[in-house]
Protein backbone atom coordinates (compact mmCIF):
# COMPACT_ATOMS: atom_id res chain seq x y z
CA UNK A 1 0.00 0.00 0.00
CA UNK A 2 1.41 3.45 -0.89
CA UNK A 3 2.87 5.37 2.04
CA UNK A 4 1.17 8.59 0.87
CA UNK A 5 -2.19 7.21 2.04
CA UNK A 6 -2.02 8.60 5.56
CA UNK A 7 -4.96 8.02 7.90
CA UNK A 8 -7.50 9.51 8.31
CA UNK A 9 -8.17 9.46 4.55
CA UNK A 10 -10.89 11.38 2.76
CA UNK A 11 -11.99 9.58 -0.43
CA UNK A 12 -13.89 11.82 -2.85
CA UNK A 13 -15.26 10.38 -6.10
CA UNK A 14 -17.99 11.14 -8.61
CA UNK A 15 -17.23 9.56 -11.99
CA UNK A 16 -17.15 5.79 -12.31
CA UNK A 17 -13.73 5.30 -13.91
CA UNK A 18 -11.43 6.40 -11.12
CA UNK A 19 -13.89 5.28 -8.47
CA UNK A 20 -13.73 1.69 -9.73
CA UNK A 21 -9.94 1.77 -9.50
CA UNK A 22 -10.03 3.28 -6.00
CA UNK A 23 -12.57 0.78 -4.70
CA UNK A 24 -10.64 -2.15 -6.18
CA UNK A 25 -7.41 -0.97 -4.54
CA UNK A 26 -9.14 -0.49 -1.19
CA UNK A 27 -10.65 -3.98 -1.40
CA UNK A 28 -7.26 -5.46 -2.34
CA UNK A 29 -5.50 -3.76 0.58
CA UNK A 30 -8.34 -4.62 2.96
CA UNK A 31 -8.14 -8.30 1.99
CA UNK A 32 -4.39 -8.15 2.62
CA UNK A 33 -5.00 -6.81 6.15
CA UNK A 34 -3.36 -3.45 5.45
CA UNK A 35 -6.30 -1.19 6.36
CA UNK A 36 -7.22 -2.45 9.83
CA UNK A 37 -6.02 0.77 11.46
CA UNK A 38 -7.00 3.23 8.73
CA UNK A 39 -9.99 5.52 9.06
CA UNK A 40 -11.83 6.61 5.91
CA UNK A 41 -14.27 9.45 5.29
CA UNK A 42 -16.06 8.81 2.00
CA UNK A 43 -17.78 11.54 -0.04
CA UNK A 44 -19.40 9.84 -3.03
CA UNK A 45 -21.84 11.18 -5.59
CA UNK A 46 -23.28 10.13 -8.95
CA UNK A 47 -21.95 6.93 -10.58
CA UNK A 48 -19.32 6.48 -7.86
CA UNK A 49 -22.02 6.34 -5.19
CA UNK A 50 -23.97 3.75 -7.20
CA UNK A 51 -20.84 1.66 -7.70
CA UNK A 52 -20.11 1.70 -3.96
CA UNK A 53 -23.68 0.72 -3.10
CA UNK A 54 -23.44 -2.22 -5.50
CA UNK A 55 -20.06 -3.48 -4.22
CA UNK A 56 -19.11 -1.77 -0.91
CA UNK A 57 -15.77 -2.50 0.70
CA UNK A 58 -16.25 -3.60 4.36
CA UNK A 59 -13.64 -1.23 5.80
CA UNK A 60 -13.56 -1.42 9.61
CA UNK A 61 -13.36 2.34 10.22
CA UNK A 62 -15.58 3.99 7.65
CA UNK A 63 -17.90 6.99 7.62
CA UNK A 64 -20.04 8.18 4.69
CA UNK A 65 -20.45 11.94 4.36
CA UNK A 66 -22.56 14.26 2.23
CA UNK A 67 -20.19 17.23 2.04
CA UNK A 68 -16.53 18.12 1.70
CA UNK A 69 -16.48 19.04 5.39
CA UNK A 70 -15.34 15.42 5.72
CA UNK A 71 -11.87 16.51 4.55
CA UNK A 72 -11.19 18.62 7.63
CA UNK A 73 -9.00 16.73 10.07
CA UNK A 74 -7.83 14.17 7.51
CA UNK A 75 -4.17 13.56 6.73
CA UNK A 76 -4.63 12.72 3.04
CA UNK A 77 -7.27 13.15 0.35
CA UNK A 78 -7.79 10.63 -2.45
CA UNK A 79 -9.89 11.79 -5.41
CA UNK A 80 -10.91 10.82 -8.92
CA UNK A 81 -10.40 13.12 -11.91
CA UNK A 82 -13.75 12.92 -13.67
CA UNK A 83 -15.59 15.21 -16.04
CA UNK A 84 -19.20 14.99 -14.93
CA UNK A 85 -19.01 17.23 -11.84
CA UNK A 86 -16.74 19.65 -9.97
CA UNK A 87 -16.79 17.61 -6.77
CA UNK A 88 -13.31 16.11 -7.10
CA UNK A 89 -11.76 19.42 -8.22
CA UNK A 90 -13.34 21.17 -5.25
CA UNK A 91 -11.98 18.45 -2.96
CA UNK A 92 -8.44 19.16 -4.19
CA UNK A 93 -9.04 22.88 -3.69
CA UNK A 94 -10.21 22.24 -0.14
CA UNK A 95 -7.25 20.00 0.59
CA UNK A 96 -4.86 22.63 -0.76
CA UNK A 97 -6.45 25.34 1.42
CA UNK A 98 -6.10 23.09 4.49
CA UNK A 99 -2.51 22.09 3.56
CA UNK A 100 -3.53 18.43 3.27
CA UNK A 101 -1.74 16.41 0.55
CA UNK A 102 -4.11 15.17 -2.16
CA UNK A 103 -3.73 12.17 -4.44
CA UNK A 104 -5.54 12.16 -7.79
CA UNK A 105 -6.36 8.96 -9.69
CA UNK A 106 -6.26 9.22 -13.49
CA UNK A 107 -8.15 6.29 -14.97
CA UNK A 108 -7.72 6.87 -18.71
CA UNK A 109 -5.22 8.03 -21.33
CA UNK A 110 -6.66 11.33 -22.61
CA UNK A 111 -7.10 15.01 -21.68
CA UNK A 112 -4.89 14.92 -18.59
CA UNK A 113 -4.39 18.66 -18.14
CA UNK A 114 -8.12 19.43 -18.47
CA UNK A 115 -8.92 17.10 -15.59
CA UNK A 116 -7.28 19.50 -13.14
CA UNK A 117 -8.79 22.75 -14.41
CA UNK A 118 -12.20 24.34 -13.83
CA UNK A 119 -13.06 27.89 -14.95
CA UNK A 120 -9.40 28.65 -15.53
CA UNK A 121 -8.33 27.47 -12.06
CA UNK A 122 -5.71 24.70 -12.05
CA UNK A 123 -5.27 22.63 -8.89
CA UNK A 124 -2.64 19.90 -9.11
CA UNK A 125 -2.36 17.14 -6.49
CA UNK A 126 0.67 16.17 -4.46
CA UNK A 127 0.75 12.83 -6.28
CA UNK A 128 -0.96 11.16 -9.25
CA UNK A 129 -1.87 7.48 -9.32
CA UNK A 130 -2.32 5.53 -12.54
CA UNK A 131 -2.84 1.85 -13.33
CA UNK A 132 -0.52 1.06 -16.25
CA UNK A 133 2.81 2.04 -17.76
CA UNK A 134 1.32 3.97 -20.71
CA UNK A 135 -0.70 6.20 -18.40
CA UNK A 136 2.36 6.70 -16.18
CA UNK A 137 4.43 7.94 -19.12
CA UNK A 138 1.69 10.32 -20.23
CA UNK A 139 1.26 11.75 -16.74
CA UNK A 140 5.01 12.13 -16.19
CA UNK A 141 5.33 14.03 -19.47
CA UNK A 142 2.34 16.26 -18.73
CA UNK A 143 3.08 17.01 -15.06
CA UNK A 144 6.84 17.15 -14.64
CA UNK A 145 6.69 18.47 -11.09
CA UNK A 146 4.14 15.97 -9.76
CA UNK A 147 5.21 12.48 -8.65
CA UNK A 148 3.40 9.72 -10.55
CA UNK A 149 2.85 6.30 -9.02
CA UNK A 150 1.89 3.27 -11.14
CA UNK A 151 -0.19 0.72 -9.23
CA UNK A 152 -1.38 -2.70 -10.43
CA UNK A 153 -4.74 -2.52 -12.20
CA UNK A 154 -6.49 -4.90 -9.84
CA UNK A 155 -9.88 -3.66 -11.11
CA UNK A 156 -9.06 -4.85 -14.64
CA UNK A 157 -7.67 -8.13 -13.33
CA UNK A 158 -10.81 -8.77 -11.27
CA UNK A 159 -13.08 -8.09 -14.24
CA UNK A 160 -11.17 -10.23 -16.72
CA UNK A 161 -10.88 -13.12 -14.27
CA UNK A 162 -14.67 -13.56 -14.35
CA UNK A 163 -15.11 -13.42 -18.15
CA UNK A 164 -15.09 -16.91 -19.76
CA UNK A 165 -14.08 -17.59 -23.38
CA UNK A 166 -16.72 -16.66 -25.93
CA UNK A 167 -18.98 -19.56 -27.05
CA UNK A 168 -18.44 -20.72 -30.64
CA UNK A 169 -22.04 -20.01 -31.68
CA UNK A 170 -22.28 -16.54 -30.09
CA UNK A 171 -23.57 -13.78 -32.38
CA UNK A 172 -23.90 -11.05 -29.76
CA UNK A 173 -22.31 -7.60 -30.05
CA UNK A 174 -21.89 -5.24 -27.11
CA UNK A 175 -21.63 -1.52 -27.88
CA UNK A 176 -20.27 0.46 -24.92
CA UNK A 177 -21.43 4.07 -24.92
CA UNK A 178 -19.73 7.19 -23.59
CA UNK A 179 -20.10 10.97 -23.88
CA UNK A 180 -17.68 12.19 -26.55
CA UNK A 181 -17.89 15.98 -25.91
CA UNK A 182 -16.96 16.77 -29.51
CA UNK A 183 -19.07 17.12 -32.64
CA UNK A 184 -16.12 17.55 -35.03
CA UNK A 185 -17.86 20.57 -36.54
CA UNK A 186 -20.94 18.62 -37.67
CA UNK A 187 -23.51 19.80 -35.15
CA UNK A 188 -24.33 16.28 -33.86
CA UNK A 189 -23.03 14.80 -30.63
CA UNK A 190 -19.97 12.69 -31.31
CA UNK A 191 -21.36 9.59 -29.64
CA UNK A 192 -24.26 9.54 -32.12
CA UNK A 193 -21.94 10.10 -35.08
CA UNK A 194 -19.89 7.10 -33.93
CA UNK A 195 -23.04 5.00 -33.54
CA UNK A 196 -24.21 5.89 -37.05
CA UNK A 197 -20.78 5.13 -38.50
CA UNK A 198 -20.81 1.76 -36.70
CA UNK A 199 -24.23 0.81 -38.11
CA UNK A 200 -23.18 1.81 -41.62
CA UNK A 201 -20.19 -0.53 -41.39
CA UNK A 202 -21.64 -3.28 -39.21
CA UNK A 203 -20.77 -5.99 -41.76
CA UNK A 204 -17.07 -5.14 -41.47
CA UNK A 205 -17.31 -6.17 -37.82
CA UNK A 206 -19.67 -9.16 -37.76
CA UNK A 207 -19.64 -10.44 -41.35
CA UNK A 208 -22.78 -11.99 -42.75
CA UNK A 209 -25.64 -13.38 -40.67
CA UNK A 210 -27.89 -12.10 -37.91
CA UNK A 211 -26.44 -10.29 -34.92
CA UNK A 212 -27.94 -9.24 -31.60
CA UNK A 213 -26.73 -5.77 -30.53
CA UNK A 214 -26.75 -4.57 -26.92
CA UNK A 215 -26.07 -0.93 -26.09
CA UNK A 216 -24.50 -0.37 -22.69
CA UNK A 217 -25.08 3.25 -21.57
CA UNK A 218 -22.37 5.17 -19.80
CA UNK A 219 -23.03 5.61 -16.05
CA UNK A 220 -23.50 9.36 -16.61
CA UNK A 221 -26.02 8.97 -19.46
CA UNK A 222 -29.68 10.00 -18.93
CA UNK A 223 -32.04 7.02 -18.96
CA UNK A 224 -33.73 7.87 -22.27
CA UNK A 225 -30.74 9.27 -24.16
CA UNK A 226 -30.67 6.57 -26.84
CA UNK A 227 -34.37 5.66 -27.06
CA UNK A 228 -35.08 7.62 -30.25
CA UNK A 229 -31.88 6.41 -31.91
CA UNK A 230 -32.76 2.77 -31.23
CA UNK A 231 -36.28 3.27 -32.60
CA UNK A 232 -34.83 4.74 -35.81
CA UNK A 233 -32.71 1.66 -36.60
CA UNK A 234 -35.43 -0.25 -38.40
CA UNK A 235 -34.85 -3.99 -38.61
CA UNK A 236 -31.69 -4.13 -36.48
CA UNK A 237 -32.02 -6.23 -33.32
CA UNK A 238 -30.95 -3.70 -30.66
CA UNK A 239 -31.67 -3.43 -26.94
CA UNK A 240 -30.27 -1.61 -23.92
CA UNK A 241 -28.03 -3.51 -21.52
CA UNK A 242 -29.71 -4.65 -18.31
CA UNK A 243 -26.57 -5.95 -16.60
CA UNK A 244 -25.09 -4.01 -13.70
CA UNK A 245 -21.59 -5.48 -13.98
CA UNK A 246 -19.46 -4.78 -17.03
CA UNK A 247 -17.82 -8.20 -16.98
CA UNK A 248 -21.23 -9.90 -17.25
CA UNK A 249 -22.06 -7.83 -20.33
CA UNK A 250 -18.73 -8.61 -22.00
CA UNK A 251 -19.07 -12.30 -21.14
CA UNK A 252 -22.18 -12.52 -23.33
CA UNK A 253 -20.58 -10.87 -26.40
CA UNK A 254 -18.32 -11.99 -29.25
CA UNK A 255 -17.68 -8.42 -30.43
CA UNK A 256 -17.28 -5.27 -28.33
CA UNK A 257 -17.41 -1.84 -29.97
CA UNK A 258 -17.16 1.69 -28.59
CA UNK A 259 -15.37 5.00 -29.02
CA UNK A 260 -12.45 4.87 -26.55
CA UNK A 261 -14.06 3.65 -23.35
CA UNK A 262 -12.15 1.71 -20.69
CA UNK A 263 -14.63 -1.08 -21.40
CA UNK A 264 -12.77 -1.67 -24.68
CA UNK A 265 -9.61 -2.29 -22.68
CA UNK A 266 -11.44 -4.87 -20.56
CA UNK A 267 -12.93 -6.56 -23.62
CA UNK A 268 -9.57 -6.69 -25.36
CA UNK A 269 -7.90 -8.21 -22.30
CA UNK A 270 -10.71 -10.80 -22.16
CA UNK A 271 -10.02 -11.93 -25.70
CA UNK A 272 -13.01 -10.33 -27.40
CA UNK A 273 -12.83 -8.88 -30.90
CA UNK A 274 -12.69 -5.20 -30.01
CA UNK A 275 -13.23 -2.15 -32.22
CA UNK A 276 -13.21 1.63 -31.90
CA UNK A 277 -16.12 3.19 -33.80
CA UNK A 278 -14.60 6.66 -34.18
CA UNK A 279 -15.40 7.85 -37.72
CA UNK A 280 -12.61 8.89 -40.10
CA UNK A 281 -13.35 12.62 -39.68
CA UNK A 282 -12.81 12.33 -35.91
CA UNK A 283 -9.56 11.93 -34.02
CA UNK A 284 -8.04 8.47 -33.88
CA UNK A 285 -8.75 6.27 -30.88
CA UNK A 286 -6.14 7.06 -28.23
CA UNK A 287 -6.30 3.83 -26.25
CA UNK A 288 -2.78 2.34 -26.15
CA UNK A 289 -3.81 -1.33 -26.48
CA UNK A 290 -2.51 -2.55 -29.86
CA UNK A 291 -5.16 -5.23 -30.41
CA UNK A 292 -8.07 -2.76 -30.42
CA UNK A 293 -8.96 -2.36 -34.09
CA UNK A 294 -10.13 0.87 -35.72
CA UNK A 295 -13.35 0.67 -37.69
CA UNK A 296 -12.23 3.68 -39.72
CA UNK A 297 -9.42 1.46 -41.09
CA UNK A 298 -11.75 -1.39 -42.13
CA UNK A 299 -14.04 0.47 -44.51
Q: Which of the four pLDDT bands, split at 50, 70 and 90, describes residue 120?
A: very high
Give the contacts of 97 (CB within 8 A, at least 6 positions apart): none
d(CA 100, CA 11): 13
Whole-model pTM: value is: 0.89
Segments of the chain assigned to CATH 3.40.50.2000: 9-159, 162-298
Q: Which of the four pLDDT bands, split at 50, 70 and 90, describes residue 258?
A: very high
Residue-wise pLDDT for 212-230, tens only, equals: 999 999 988 998 999 999 9
Ranking 1-5, 18-22, 67-71, 207-211 by mean pLDDT, the lowest is 1-5
3-state helix, strand, coil in the chain (%, to 5): 35, 20, 45
Mean pLDDT of 153-158: 95
d(CA 299, CA 279): 10
CATH superfamily of 162-298: Glycogen Phosphorylase B; (3.40.50.2000)
Residue 299: what pLDDT? 65
Mean pLDDT of 255-271: 96
Residue 243: what pLDDT? 87
d(CA 251, CA 244): 13
Please state, rounded to an integer, the average pLDDT across all residues of the chain. 95
Residue 4: what pLDDT? 79
Residue 234: what pLDDT? 85
Q: Give the whole-number percent of the chain exceeding pLDDT 70.
A: 100
Please state the length of the chain.
Answer: 299
Q: Are 102 and 96 in contact, with CB atoms under 8 Å apart?
A: yes
**H/E stretch holding 215:** strand 212-216
Dihedral sign (CA 85, 81, 243, 203): positive
**H/E stretch holding 213:** strand 212-216
Residue-wise pLDDT for 10-67, tens only, equals: 999 999 999 999 999 999 999 999 999 999 999 999 999 999 999 999 999 999 999 9
**3-class secondary structure, 298:** helix
Mean pLDDT of 231-259: 94
CATH 3.40.50.2000 fits 9-159, yes or no: yes
d(CA 132, CA 107): 9
Distance from first CA to last CA of the chain, Å, rounded?
47
Residue 268: what pLDDT? 96
Mean pLDDT of 233-249: 92
Amino acid sequence: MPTKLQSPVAVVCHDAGAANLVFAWLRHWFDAGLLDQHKFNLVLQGPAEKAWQHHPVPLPHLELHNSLDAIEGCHSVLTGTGWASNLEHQARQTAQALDIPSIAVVDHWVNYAMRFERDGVVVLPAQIWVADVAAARLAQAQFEGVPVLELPNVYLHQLVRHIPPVPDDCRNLLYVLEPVRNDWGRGVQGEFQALDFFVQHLAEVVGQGPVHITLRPHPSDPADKYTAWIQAQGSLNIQLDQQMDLNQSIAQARWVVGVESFALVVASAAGRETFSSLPPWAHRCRLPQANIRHLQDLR
